[in-house]
Amino acid sequence: MTARTHPLEAIAAWVLALLWLAPLAYAFWSSLHPAAYATSFSLSAPWTFENYVRAWNQAPFGRYYINTVVLVALILVGQLVLSTLAAYAFTRFRFKGSGIAFALVLLQLMIMPDVLIVENYRIIGKLGLLDTIPAIALPYLASAFAIFLLRQTFKSIPQELVEAARVEGAGPLQVLWRVYVPLARPTYVAFGLVSVSYHWNNFLWPLIVTNSVESRPLTVGLAVFGAPETGVDWSVITAATVMTMAPLLIAFLLFQRQFVQSFMRAGIR
């Protein structure tokens, strides 16, 4: 349908869009100008990169970046491997108790590790892993969501292809690797983007289990850096904030379509 859009409506749409971008635009503005211009918008305000330099020098952001990248990669690889194997078990094999097992997996969709912070902290403590990167990752490695998504995808794969591979003498794992995994690629990409975004941004659990520069991800590092007690300049904090969100934001701007589609696909199920 090509109904004409009323000009007023178009204006409203644009006003809302600009309003939606304003907080972000403001963060960039204040991070790129001297502290004196944090609240006075003047076109003659001098541009500076000083805030970023100071943020970078006042806190170990380099280390935080590495920690976050390691954390996100660890979680993603773990989730993909574990959920592929589990989803394959649910799709390919009929076995006693598979219904109950699947229901127990789905339980994690209702009660996510995010709300079991008290007991999970105790378990991580017993394992002697407090204040390490694996401690942040462990509760998320087995993802019911990934298992569910992959099982749906695997179920839609034509049996003829599986049969063909079997006739050629492929064992169960070869069938998985040569038939299922390649055909499920869109699901892997969708889940991957959602997972990376989620764990790059995750905060409460990492805050609870980490306590040192060596294990803290960016989000926690930012919160520690920006705490009012530290008395750091507002502009420097904004610079640190921009640094924290920049990688994901850039990835989003570059692959906008994939991001939106992935969130859509993963959300709707």
Partner 1 sequence: MTDRIASQFVRQLRPQAWWNAVNAWLLLLPAAVLLVAFTHYPILATLRQSLYFTKRNGTETFVGLDNYRAMAADPIFWKALVNNFWFALGTIPTSIALALLMALWVNRNMRGRGFLRLAYFTPTVLPMIAVANIWLFFYTPDYGLLDQLRGLLGLAGWNWLGEPSTVMGCLIVMVIWKEAGFFMIFYLAALQQLSPDLDEAAAVEGAGRWYTFRRITFPLLMPTTLFVAINAVINSFKLVDHLVIMTKGGPNNASTLLLYYIYEVAFTFQDAVYAATLTVVLLVLLSTLALLKFGYLDRRIHYQ
Residues 151-190 interacting with partner 1 (rule: CB under 8 A): 158-160, 163, 172
Q: Which region, judged by CB under 8 A, interacts with partner 1, from 46-54, 55-63, 117-125, 179-187? A: 117-125
CB of 49 to partner 1, least distance (A): 19
CB of 53 to partner 1, least distance (A): 19
Interface of this chain with partner 1, residues 68 to 87, rule: CB under 8 A:
81-83, 85-86
Q: Does 32 bind partner 1 (CB under 8 A)?
A: no
How many other β-carbons are positioned within 10 Å of the β-carbon of residue 121? Answer: 16
CB of 163 to partner 1, least distance (A): 6
Collapsing DSSP to helix, strand or coil, 120 comes out as: helix
Q: Does 17 bind partner 1 (CB under 8 A)?
A: yes
Find out whether 232 and 51 touch, Cβ atoms under 8 Å. Answer: no
By CB under 8 A, name the one of 69, 89, 129, 183 that touches partner 1.
89
- Output 4 or 62, the one with its CB closest to partner 1: 4
Q: Is 263 exposed, middle or buried (0-12, 13-18, 19+ CB in 10 A)?
A: middle
Q: Does 62 bind partner 1 (CB under 8 A)?
A: no
CB of 91 to partner 1, least distance (A): 10
Alpha helices in 142-184 (DSSP H): 144-155, 159-167, 172-175, 181-183
Q: Is 135 exposed, middle or buried (0-12, 13-18, 19+ CB in 10 A)?
A: buried
Q: Does 10 bind partner 1 (CB under 8 A)?
A: yes
Q: How far apart are CA 143 and CA 80, in angstroms?
A: 9
The alpha carbon of 213 is separated from its chain's Cα centroid by a whole number of angstroms, namely 21
How many other β-carbons are positioned within 10 Å of the β-carbon of residue 259? Answer: 18
The alpha carbon of 232 is separated from its chain's Cα centroid by a whole number of angstroms, namely 28
- Output 115 or 213, the one with its CB closest to partner 1: 115
Q: Does 48 bind partner 1 (CB under 8 A)?
A: no
CB of 50 to partner 1, least distance (A): 18
Q: Does 36 bind partner 1 (CB under 8 A)?
A: no
- Output 67 or 219, the one with its CB closest to partner 1: 219
Contacts of 184 (CB under 8 A, 6+ apart): 150, 153, 154, 157
By CB under 8 A, name the one of 107, 182, 185, 214 that touches partner 1.
107
The residue written with tokens 């600009």 in the block is 18
By CB under 8 A, name the one of 149, 153, 219, 236 that touches partner 1.
219
